[in-house]
Amino acid sequence: MKTSRLIAYGVLATLISINLLSALQAETKIPSILGSHMVLQRNAPIVLWGWDDSGQKVTVSLGKDSTTATTDNQGQWMVELKSLEAGGPHKIEIQGSSSITLEDVLIGEVWLCSGQSNMEWTVRQSLNPEEEASNGNHPKIRHIKFPHRPSAKPENDIPSDGWKIANPQTVPNFTAVGYFFGRKLQAELNVPVGLIGSNWGGTRIEPWTPPVGFKSTPALKNISDNLDNLPAVNNGRVNHQTPLALYNGMIHNFRYLKFRGAIWYQGESNRGEGMLYHEKMKALIRGWRNVFNNADMPFYFVQLAPYRYGGSEVALPEIWEAQSATLSLPNTGMAVTTDISNLNDIHPKIKQDVGKRLALWALAKTYGQEDLVYSGPLYKNHKVNGATIEISFDHANGGLASSDDKPLTHFQVAGQDGEFKPAVATIKGDKLIVASDGVANPVHVRFGWHQLAEPNLVNASGLPASPFRTDK
């Protein structure tokens, strides 16, 4: 009898423990990209998601808008709320097995800021950091930074420190290019701006690219055919430079989030690949547009700055060429930085102008601001006239000029022998006339075709011309 009673008590205790454990485990969760102080994209469906017990009903409310979803077999729930105009602050209530309240949520413009070290470079590391910090009180600008996290499989959530409001204490740790980009947008549009910092110094482009991007690019068949074997894992550690590794670990987790577009500063680690880098850019852009279900997603990027890399003197210009070619994709733009470089520092400190130039592209092409000069001169075509070559440009707005009022620099021409000689360039309105005493019958022209080239050709608005060559 005593034994039976002990067994009964044991069974009861076990059941109580199981029920208590179940109750303790029943919790509504959301990914770290969602949180108090975040900015949600205006004029787009508000998609929110998370996890709970399988079969659990979860109700999400934002103001008068409320909707309920039921978790699937994997415990995931997702809701879609009506789009809103810019504004706030709003409160979001989430009620499932437990409750979550998100405070101070703004509606505005949200941008992804990705790439390698020049995008990760902070305001603290840039020009005039103390002044920028003291002037950093912009409560409508918010920033979230994801930690470095390579992964062999797509991650649904990764930890972060959450959304930070721009103020003198937080701004020094923001991505500098992203912050100056966002500050310009916020001032011009007068709406909140959210910046998603997902970047990692020294990284190649391949790890940021999703599988669908590689598969959409025939030139990268050698990668797409081997996706099942990537990324590489050694002693339990994922090689962060292998294809998919950073998409899996640092991009996939917010694939449901609606945001306006992306800014990108990367390429130093792919120097030497020439036009193959253009193919990889196509894969990244197409891949992200597919993953984020936004076929027209704006994608604005930074052309690398001149730098004393050593090795091949034209490996960098060949990346410039690949970057320029990427402008052939719709809804892309390129900020040229040949005039704000530091030949002895791969991380030029003048990030203010980089962010502003990216913002000019966005203001003109994404937000429809008319009569805005948003690009420096880009090579259009040329024609040979005897001993001279006449070059035409796009974005030669108001004519061409020398930034320092000195003769134009870094021009070369070559004849049929392909031997390039220094040339003199003369401005003729919005065209250039180029000639060299050493080449009687020029055929091709090059401009800024050297890793140390810091040319002085600009348009009337002072935006620099991108290097180019005609002998592709």
Q: Which domains does the chain have, with CATH numbers?
A: 108-366 (3.40.50.1110), 378-469 (no CATH)
Whether 114 and 181 have beta carbons less than 8 Å apart is answered as no
d(CA 254, CA 240): 19
**Can you give the pLDDT at residue 5?**
56
Backbone dihedral angles phi then psi of residue 57, each to the nearest 5 degrees = -80, 135
For residue 67, what are the β-bridge partners? 60
Q: In this predicted structure, what is the pLDDT of residue 195?
A: 99
For residue 4, the model assigns a pLDDT of 57
| Site of tokens 């402008």 | 327
100: tokens are 């979550």
Q: Which residues of the chain have pLDDT under 50?
A: 1, 6-8, 11, 15-23
| Full-model pTM | 0.94
Residue type, 380: K
Q: Please report the pLDDT score of residue 130 as a whole number.
A: 98
Q: How confident is the model at residue 348, as a pLDDT?
A: 98
- CA neighbor of 48 nearest in space, from 56, 394, 58: 58
- For the segment 287-317, what is each residue's pLDDT rounded down to a tens digit? 999 999 999 999 999 999 999 999 999 999 9
CA distance 160 to 150: 14
The predicted structure's pLDDT at residue 233? 82
Cβ proximity of 83 and 44 under 8 Å: yes
pLDDT (0 to 100) of residue 25? 62
Q: Residue 22 has which token pair? A: 């179940």
The pLDDT score that the predictor gives to residue 169 is 98
pLDDT confidence of residue 229:
84
Which sign, positive or negative, has the C-alpha torsion 456, 429, 433, 371?
A: positive
Q: Which helix (H) or strand (E) holds 25?
A: helix 2-25
